[in-house]
Structure 1
């Protein structure tokens, strides 16, 4: 599962990508539009600035913008920058490999073998999608429509 910080970071970066080339985007606009607590967003954007992904300008006309064109940022790069790895277990990480504690030798572990395949498939997908790419929205999950019974996707409409 992605951490809340990672999800907020992705949403903030998507927002900045949507406004690329328009000048500084005020923090409050990002926070309000993306439903991210402003104090947490400040920490996230400061961290992204240290990584060289965003720039900022202080003052009344200030805000944040992408330091790199959205076409040059893949979701894989973004997740690796934020989380350090795409792997679900440390022994399957390419760049932050660690031997798992209380496990079998790596050459005998089928869990590791499976997680290597998951890591590679995840990397292939995320490295092929850029911040500039449109992403089609998915329909609400069944759980979501059950919580909102009046939503159009949960109604049976006869023609």
Structure 2
């Protein structure tokens, strides 16, 4: 399961992707449009800014804009930034590998073998689906294609 914070980050990014790229969105606009608590959204946008996803502008015409194009921001990148490792088991994590405490050997672990396929399929979808895909409805076509494979 993804955290509420990650859902809000993805919703904020989709709102920015759908907005006029020449007109920054105010935090209050995003919060209202996406039903995100304003104070929580401020912290999320700061994280996204620190990590190069969005930029902020000050002043009367200020607000937030996407810094990277929406087709270059994947769901996987955002989830990894906000929630940390995506793998269902610590021994399957790419960024935070850790041997399971009760492990007798990864090559013999039946559970690891099954969840390795789950992790691979999950990463495949998340890192091949961009914010632009989600906004354009492409994620539905990609999910259907992956499910039928």
Q: Which has the larger radius of gyration?
A: 1
Deviates more, 1:18-27 or 1:30-39: 18-27
2:9 aligns with 9
Query: How many equivalent pairs are there?
Result: 138
Relative to the length of structure 1, the TM-score reads 0.79
Residue of structure 2 equivalent to 1:135: 137
Q: Assess if the C-alpha contact under 8 Å between 1:20 and 1:70 holds in 2.
A: no
Post-superposition shift, 1:30?
0.5
Larger relative contact order (CA 8 Å, sep ≥ 6): 2
1:44 aligns with 44
**Do structure 1's residue 63 and structure 2's residue 46 form an aligned pair?**
no
Quote the Cα distance in structure 1 between the aligned partners of 2:20 and 2:113. 40
Write the mapping of 1:63-142 to structure 2, written as runs, cut at 5 A.
Answer: 63-133=63-133, 134-135=136-137
Q: Mark the runs of 5 or more structure 2 residues left unpaired by the alignment.
A: 141-149
What is the DSSP-based 3-state SS (H/G/I as helix, E as strand, rest coil) of the residue aligned with 2:8?
A: helix
User: More helix by proportion, 1 or 2?
Assistant: 2
Return the TM-score normalized by structure 2: 0.84
CA-based RMSD: 1.9
Question: What secondary structure does 2:65 align onto?
Answer: strand
Q: Name 2:31's counterpart in structure 1.
A: 31
